[in-house]
Amino acid sequence: MPKSQDSVGRRGFLRTTATGAAGIVAGGTPGLGPTRLVPDQSAVPSDLTLRVKALESLLVDKGLVDPAALDRIVDAFETKIGPRNGARVVARAWIDPAYKKRLLADAATAMEELGFHRHQGEDIVALENTAKVHNMVVCTLCSCYPWPLLGLPPVWYKSAPYRSRAVIDPRGVLKEFGLDIGTDVAVRVWDSTSEVRYIVLPERPAGSEGLSEDALAALVTRDAMLGTARVTLTATEVRG
């Protein structure tokens, strides 16, 4: 969280956001086109988000919820769980062909080998990106998402434009994320549900052969495991 928000406290920030944005929502959200996917600092939270923020602030003010406990939960998902768990799975698959084979055949069992378990009983499917196939993940009905592996979902993943356009025009959406997928590459869109969640196994970047498993895991981003980004390697990382 930015330091400017820390200075007033997370609770105060939530309360201010909920109160200040409510009036803007009532009058609409000028300047935000229906196809905008990249979050803007001026974007107004959805009505549901505002209600949640207001409810959280109310519960804290009445002493029914411990703000420190809430902060620990948020911090766990933001910095300790996701996307580090998923990145470790990807890195292991890159360096261990046998593990990769098990991951693609039965992702849930393979992930348990690394100590990661399904928290809600949902099945997990691993999708491999190759030079000829690019996978991307969406949830058209709501925002089903592999929390134990990727942590908190990004705002754009839950947005209506992404959820609708990812299915209708996946190449166009990927281009907005900076990925220009060639016509010789098949783009496959996978729709998450409450029963089945997906994680993309991105292509390993060229020049990373000498990196350790930990170093490889540090390269893997949440967006790459959703199929909206590639894993890249800088010149410094190549030199080690």
Tell me, what amino acid is at 112? E
Given 4, 7, 57, 143, the catalytic residue: 143
Backbone φ and ψ of 143, nearest 5°: -155, 40
Catalytic residue among 57, 144, 192, 208: 144
- For 130-166, b/e burial (b = at least 16 CB within 10 A) is eeeebbbbbbbeeebbbbbbbbbbbbbbbbebbbebb
Concerning whether 159 is annotated as a catalytic residue, the answer is: no
Whether 142 is catalytic: yes
Specify the 3-state DSSP secondary structure of 187: strand
Which is the catalytic residue, given 142, 159, 194, 208?
A: 142
Active site residue 7: no
Active site residue: 4, 7, 57, 139, which one?
Answer: 139
Question: Identity (one letter) of the amino acid at 30?
Answer: P
CA–CA separation, 28 and 99 (whole Å): 50
211 vs 217: CA distance, rounded Å:
10
Kindly give, in sequence order, each residue whose CB lies less than 8 Å from that of residue 139, ignoring residues fewer than 6 positions away. 145, 157, 163, 191, 192, 193
Please name the residues in contact with 142: beta carbons below 8 A apart, sequence gap of 6 or more.
Answer: none
The answer to whether 42 is a known catalytic residue is no
Active site residues: 139, 142-144
